[in-house]
Amino acid sequence: MRCTEQEADRPVTRSGWTLLRYGRDADGGGAAAAGSGTAGGSGVRPESACAGCDADGQEAPGADLAAPGRELRPDSLRAVYDSGGGRPAATAPARTARIDGEIPVVSGQLVGAVRRRLAESGGEPTPAGVAAALRREGRLLGDTEVLAIVGALRSEMVGSGPLEPLLAQPDVTDVLVTAPDEVWVDRGCGLERVDVRFADASTVRRLAQRLAAVAGRRLDDARPWVDARLPDGTRLHAVLPPVAVGSACLSLRVVRRRAFGLAELTAAGTVPPGGEGLLRGLLDARLSFLISGGTGSGKTTLLSALLSLVRPDERIVLAEESAELRPDHPHVVRLEARPANQEGIGEVTLQDLVRQALRMRPDRLVVGEVRGREVVDLLAALNTGHEGGSGTVHANAAGDVPARLEALGAVAGLDRPALHSQLAAAVSVLLHLVRDRRGRRRIAEVHVLERDGAGLVTAVPAAVWAAGGFARRAGWPRLERLLERGGGAE
pLDDT (tens digit per residue) in 152-188:
666 666 668 789 889 888 889 899 999 999 999 998 7
246 and 231 share a domain? Answer: yes
Distance CA 446, CA 441 (A): 15
Nearest to 22 by CA among 10, 34, 37: 34
What are the beta bridge partners of residue 447?
430, 461
63 and 41 share a domain? Answer: yes
Once rounded to an integer, what is the mean pLDDT over residues 91-95? 33
Q: Is 388 helix (H, G, I), strand (E, B) or coil?
A: coil
pTM, to two decimals: 0.67
Considering only 157-166, 323-332, 398-407, which range has the smallest mean pLDDT? 157-166
HSE, side-chain direction, 13 A CA sphere, residue 302: 33
**pLDDT band with cut points at 50, 70 and 90 for residue 361:** very high
112 and 203 share a domain? Answer: no
382 and 460 share a domain? Answer: yes
Considering only 123-137, 206-220, 371-385, which range has the smallest mean pLDDT? 123-137
DSSP 315: -
Geometric angle at alpha carbon 378, from 373 and 379, rounded to 5°: 100
Question: Cβ(300)–Cβ(307) under 8 Å?
Answer: no
Query: Would you state the pLDDT for residue 272?
Result: 93
Q: How many domains does the chain have?
A: 3
Neighbours of 150 (CB within 10 A): 20
Exposure of 378 by Cβ count < 10 A (0-12 exposed, 13-18 middle, 19+ buried)? Answer: buried
| Sheet containing 429-435: order of strands | 332-336, 316-320, 364-367, 390-394, 289-293, 429-435, 441-451, 457-464, 471-472
377 and 236 share a domain? Answer: no
Once rounded to an integer, what is the mean pLDDT over residues 381-389? 85
Once rounded to an integer, what is the mean pLDDT over residues 80-87? 36
What mean pLDDT value characterizes the chain? Answer: 77
User: Which CATH number characterizes residue 383's domain?
Assistant: 3.40.50.300
Neighbours of 316 (CB within 10 A): 22
Distance CA 224, CA 46 (A): 58
Percent of the chain with pLDDT strictly greater than 70: 74
Among 253, 276, 304, the domain-final residue is 253
Query: Would you state the pLDDT for residue 11?
Result: 37
Distance CA 1, CA 60 (A): 9
Neighbours of 55 (CB within 10 A): 10
Which CA distances in Å does 92 have to 79, 80, 97? 6, 5, 13
Parallel, antiparallel or unpaired: strands 316-320 and 364-367: parallel
Once rounded to an integer, what is the mean pLDDT over residues 282-308? 93
Distance CA 486, CA 54 (A): 88
336-371: buried (b, 16+ CB within 10 Å) or exposed (e) per residue? bbebeeeeeeeeebbbbbbeebbeeebbbbbbbbbb
More confident: 130 or 446: 446
pLDDT for residue 192 is more than 60? yes
pLDDT for residue 414 is more than 60? yes
Amino acid of residue 220: D
**pLDDT band with cut points at 50, 70 and 90 for residue 295:** confident
DSSP 387: T
348 and 448 share a domain? Answer: yes
45 and 192 share a domain? Answer: no
Once rounded to an integer, what is the mean pLDDT over residues 452-466? 92
Identify the H or E element spanning 5: helix 5-8
341 and 210 share a domain? Answer: no
Query: Would you state the pLDDT for residue 171?
Result: 85
pLDDT for residue 45 is more than 60? no
pLDDT for residue 447 is more than 50? yes
Query: Would you state the pLDDT for residue 451?
Result: 92
Query: Would you state the pLDDT for residue 215?
Result: 86
pLDDT for residue 39 is more than 90? no
Query: Would you state the pLDDT for residue 127?
Result: 76
Nearest to 200 by CA among 146, 174, 162, 164: 162
Considering only 92-96, 266-270, 319-323, which range has the smallest mean pLDDT? 92-96
Once rounded to an integer, what is the mean pLDDT over residues 224-230? 90
Neighbours of 48 (CB within 10 A): 14
What are the beta bridge partners of residue 391?
290, 367
Query: Would you state the pLDDT for residue 487?
Result: 52
User: Which CATH number characterizes residue 181's domain?
Assistant: 3.30.450.370
Once rounded to an integer, what is the mean pLDDT over residues 335-339? 90
Query: Would you state the pLDDT for residue 214?
Result: 84
Query: Would you state the pLDDT for residue 37?
Result: 37
Among 228, 253, 278, the domain-final residue is 253
Neighbours of 1 (CB within 10 A): 11
78 and 174 share a domain? Answer: no
User: What is the phi-psi region of residue 361: left when phi exceeds 0, alpha when psi lies from -120 to 50, beta otherwise?
Assistant: left
Question: Cβ(283)–Cβ(327) under 8 Å?
Answer: no
Q: Which domain holds residue 443?
A: 262-486
Question: Cβ(199)–Cβ(29) under 8 Å?
Answer: no
Handedness of CA 237, 116, 139, 200 (dihedral sign): negative
**Which residue blocks in 49-142 are alpha helix, DSSP H?**
74-80, 108-121, 127-136
Question: Cβ(7)–Cβ(76) under 8 Å?
Answer: no
**pLDDT band with cut points at 50, 70 and 90 for residue 384:** confident
**pLDDT band with cut points at 50, 70 and 90 for residue 41:** very low
Cis peptide before 362 (omega within 30 of 0): no
**pLDDT band with cut points at 50, 70 and 90 for residue 126:** confident
99 and 87 share a domain? Answer: yes
Query: Would you state the pLDDT for residue 75?
Result: 40
pLDDT for residue 12 is more than 90? no
Distance CA 397, CA 247 (A): 35
419 and 291 share a domain? Answer: yes
Once rounded to an integer, what is the mean pLDDT over residues 63-84? 36
**pLDDT band with cut points at 50, 70 and 90 for residue 108:** low
429 and 284 share a domain? Answer: yes
202-240: buried (b, 16+ CB within 10 Å) or exposed (e) per residue? ebbbbbbbbbbeebebebeeeebebbbbbeeebbbbbbb
Among 128, 157, 186, the domain-final residue is 157
